[in-house]
Structure 1
Amino acid sequence: MSRDFVYTCGTMQKNRLVIVGAGPIGLEAAVKAVSQGFDVTVLERGDIGDAIQRWKHVPLFTPFGMNSSTVGRSLIADQQPPALDDLLHGGQFCERYLRPLANSTALSGCVLTQHEVVAVSRRAFGKSDRIGQPGRADQPFRILVRTNDGERIFDADVLLDCSGFTSRHHFVGAGGMPCVGEQLLLTDSDYGIPNVAGAEGDRYRGRHSLVIGSGYSAATSVCLLADLAGDDAATKITWITRGNCDKPLRQVIDDPLPMRAELTDRANRLAVGDDPIVDWRPGLHVDEIEQTESGFAVKLFTNPESGEGRVERIFCDHIIANPGYRPNTDPFRELQIHRCYATDGPIKLAAHLLGESSNDCLQQTSTGCELLQNPEPNFYILGAASYGRDSRFLMQIGLQQVDQVFEHFASTNGANA
């Protein structure tokens, strides 16, 4: 389909499509949009795959074939893309797939890096105008973008939020709010998975690290630190989790993802085994972080429901905070988006996910475009951001969402999308 194709909504031509985020889902959506004749612009606040580059040293659980599309692979076929069953590190995924895809002929001139979306509205409608009415689509989206050269405005007829959820981390304080001292003493780098096998190894070797978190990111940090420690008794790891469970991670029965199964098994063995390097402390909540001469003192308490728990302090050299991430919803506050009060995801999809019985991300399936639609016409949240605070998202779900949205556009000829 030619690039000059337009679709109509009412009496207006609607072919300008803007995508927020040049990660895997944003780039795949751009490929689909170009194939349907949209005039596509991708706005990325950093570089290509910026969020994934933050954990470039960490392997993905899922093989390359689950994290890429047939069309995307065909566009970079001359650059020898990875094999479908290859398990890549984050950096390899960016360098061997995302960057070539962004630089492909199909997306030439479409992807703008160092373009941060600050705010979005309708050109002449505020948030409270024409509530829930398709007529809001008569006014294009007005997008304020910050670049290295200043601010500028973009207009769009269709807007896709593919910004992911790694732009904002959770806090380690009890109840999810920042604890005393957290925002003063911890930096963004403290919320990542340290590259202890590379440049950061000397920082953690022979030191006491406190890892805070209950998910796979925290488990990865613990295992990497254990590898660094080896037989060095001076390298110590304390791992605190909020839940009172027999093991820190729940094992997926007959897990079809070997990398995930291996990580789960090893992290659990380090936590409950006889290895003196890792001291797992379940059921603890962070109350305060204080600076000391050599590092930090972290005040913790137990049994917050009854108020009768004990209080203790752990002294450490480093804090690795892995409490998880959430999407940045601030730029879209002036749009009519119905979000779940518990997960921050779009309400229809959030309600569906809350009704799912399985905690295994492989058991989640994308269930149709209707769950992705918002009260705001022609606005869709795709990819990790669509799951809000729900951690069960997989890239293959985002790829399915992209297919469903553009199938919807094609089937309706874009009318009232």
Structure 2
Amino acid sequence: MTLLDLTPRSVLTDRLATLPVVIIGAGPIGLAAAANLAERGIDFVVLEAGDRPASSVRLWGHTRLFSPWRHLIDPASRRLLDAAGWVPPLDEGRAPSGQELVDEYLQPLAELDAIRTRIRYGTRVTAVARQGMDRTRTAGREATPFLLRVTTDAGEVKEMTGRAVIDASGTYTTPNPLASSGLAPIGDAVDRILHALPDVMGADRAKFSGRHTTVVGAGHSAANTLIALAELARTEPGTRVTWLIRNASAVRVSSSADDELADRARLGSRVDQLVEAGVIEKVDSFEIVAVERRDGGIRLRGTRRGEPAAHDTDLVVGATGFRPDVDMLREIRVQLDDIVEAPVRLAPLIDPNVHSCGTVAPHGFDELRHPESGFFLVGMKSYGRAPTFLLATGYEQVRSVVAWLDGDMRAATEVRLTLPATGVCSTDSGGCC
């Protein structure tokens, strides 16, 4: 099957028909894929690197989502949960925290009999290929099973096969580096650089109390951390907060009145107010090149408005976005956009250089296909480096992909999603729809 061929594989070879669909990742989108496959009676297995479902979500579980419950529950998953007597959240107009999403929705979903027995925890996928074929071999490729190499928590290296692969492994564990070049900054002060969305008011409070923290990044992850640090500064003497961005303004942190996701719009408003009040110091137009240790802290070196510049702080929170791990896919024929590293048909819809509003048209298997028939990137990983992903979009992706895998072209090509208007401008020039 070529990339332009829309015909589903309604009749599988005997060799493939006995194999499961392999889902990489037991997060919200991976579990939604499992629910859709379970509804259609298609065998599957879920490979999850963590020891519990939604292990990445748990890392930022203290953070409140800006989507309300009504946009966070996959329809197929809801049907399976309802049939098992699940009690849904009482207020579907409220935005939950990440931990609430896990406790009230994802954990119960993962515990359903139809899904629980098919999840393999502590199993990290390190490579995907075709069995007995590198990416250069073509003859008989579509009739050949996928081969996945995994490493278990016990250190064992194993291999397994599948008829198709749905990669929902996300991007949270592969953040973008601080340097404006996209490379890791020169220097050896990495222990002073923390991952995005630390638990400032909870488990990580002692790290930040009484210290100067600089948050690098211009998106919503940065905004959440800045607000938490400002709250800490009100009660903990000596706590200072700096916001460092490489552009003249943080156009992706919206405070638009047109944003139907009100919690997202409020993020931008609150940060603006804290900057105006002097609680947060804002340093704009700073291009990071190198980092170095200094007196128990860190110095960021680079340029600002064309001149050499330095910024001293105790800690840095890197909230510069995320990127997909594509090294594991070297032997798979994926076709990614040169700019955002998303599937080539999806990329024009989400490229932040040209996509002026945060809304993205609903899309499915057609925009997610690769030359490697039966392989799909879904969820946040399908967006590559673009920052506009919503869970509801991912749920529509996997519904369409699973319908295609089942040979149901009518369902695969339908649009069953209406996204909220965002009013979010994401171009550097500040243009908006």
Tell me the TM-score normalized by structure 2: 0.86
Deviation at 1:222, TM superposition (A): 0.8
CA-to-aligned-CA distance 1:205-248 (integer Å, 9 cap, x gap): 22111111111111111111001111656221111101113877
1:251 is matched with which residue: 252, 255, 260? 255
Q: Show the counterpart of 1:281.
A: 283
Q: Does 1:201 align with 2:205?
A: yes
The equivalences for 1:143-162 within 5 A come to: 143-149=148-154, 150-162=156-168
CA-to-aligned-CA distance 1:160-190 (integer Å, 9 cap, x gap): 1111111200001121111112xx3224970
CA contact (8 A) 2:89 2:104 kept: yes
Q: Show the counterpart of 2:74.
A: 69
Work out the number of aligned pairs and report it. 396
CA contact (8 A) 2:35 2:80 kept: no
CA contact (8 A) 2:36 2:77 kept: no
Letter in 1 for 2:40: Q
Distance 1:318 1:355, change over 3 A: closer
CA contact (8 A) 1:121 1:142 kept: yes
Between the aligned partners of 1:216 and 1:284, the Cα distance in structure 2 is 19
Using the TM superposition, name which of 54-63 and 275-284 deviates more: 275-284
CA contact (8 A) 1:247 1:268 kept: no
Q: Show the counterpart of 2:243.
A: 239
Q: Show the counterpart of 1:341.
A: 338
2:11 is matched with which residue: 2, 8, 11? 8
Q: Percent identity?
A: 27
CA contact (8 A) 1:289 1:297 kept: yes
Distance 1:188 1:390, change over 3 A: farther
CA-to-aligned-CA distance 1:64-96 (integer Å, 9 cap, x gap): 221112331243343423232231111111121
Deviation at 1:412, TM superposition (A): 4.8
Q: Does 1:102 align with 2:113?
A: no
Using the TM superposition, name which of 321-330 and 11-20 deviates more: 11-20
1:318 is matched with which residue: 315, 318, 322? 315
Letter in 1 for 2:323: R
Deviation at 1:290, TM superposition (A): 1.2
Deviation at 1:278, TM superposition (A): 1.2
Between the aligned partners of 2:132 and 2:308, the Cα distance in structure 1 is 55
Secondary structure class of the residue paired with 1:59 = coil
Letter in 2 for 1:331: M
Secondary structure class of the residue paired with 2:401 = helix
Q: Show the counterpart of 2:273.
A: 269
Q: Show the counterpart of 2:183.
A: 177
Between the aligned partners of 2:302 and 2:109, the Cα distance in structure 1 is 46
Task: Flag structure 1 segments of 5+ consecutive residues without an equivalent.
Answer: 1-5, 304-308
Distance 1:344 1:356, change over 3 A: closer
2:327 is matched with which residue: 325, 330, 334? 330
CA contact (8 A) 2:39 2:76 kept: no
Q: Does 1:382 align with 2:385?
A: no
1:294 is matched with which residue: 289, 293, 296? 296
Q: Show the counterpart of 1:211.
A: 215
Between the aligned partners of 1:154 and 1:386, the Cα distance in structure 2 is 23
Between the aligned partners of 1:193 and 1:279, the Cα distance in structure 2 is 19
CA-to-aligned-CA distance 1:102-125 (integer Å, 9 cap, x gap): 111221311111100011111122
Between the aligned partners of 1:119 and 1:188, the Cα distance in structure 2 is 31
Between the aligned partners of 1:117 and 1:35, the Cα distance in structure 2 is 25
2:53 is matched with which residue: 32, 48, 57? 48
1:394 is matched with which residue: 374, 390, 393? 390
Letter in 2 for 1:320: V
Deviation at 1:317, TM superposition (A): 1.4
Letter in 1 for 2:298: F
Between the aligned partners of 2:101 and 2:55, the Cα distance in structure 1 is 12
CA contact (8 A) 2:323 2:385 kept: yes
Deviation at 1:11, TM superposition (A): 5.4
Deviation at 1:194, TM superposition (A): 2.0
1:115 is matched with which residue: 100, 109, 123? 123
Q: Does 1:80 align with 2:74?
A: no
CA contact (8 A) 1:290 1:298 kept: yes
CA contact (8 A) 2:349 2:355 kept: no
Distance 1:159 1:310, change over 3 A: same
CA-to-aligned-CA distance 1:135-177 (integer Å, 9 cap, x gap): 4121101111100231111100111111111120000112111
Q: Show the counterpart of 1:163.
A: 169
Letter in 2 for 1:390: A
Q: Show the counterpart of 1:306.
A: none
Between the aligned partners of 2:192 and 2:143, the Cα distance in structure 1 is 40
Q: Show the counterpart of 1:3.
A: none
CA-to-aligned-CA distance 1:331-378 (integer Å, 9 cap, x gap): 1110111111111111111134349965443x2122342111110011
Distance 1:110 1:265, change over 3 A: same
Between the aligned partners of 1:11 and 1:39, the Cα distance in structure 2 is 15
Using the TM superposition, name which of 251-260 and 112-121 deviates more: 251-260
Secondary structure class of the residue paired with 1:168 = coil
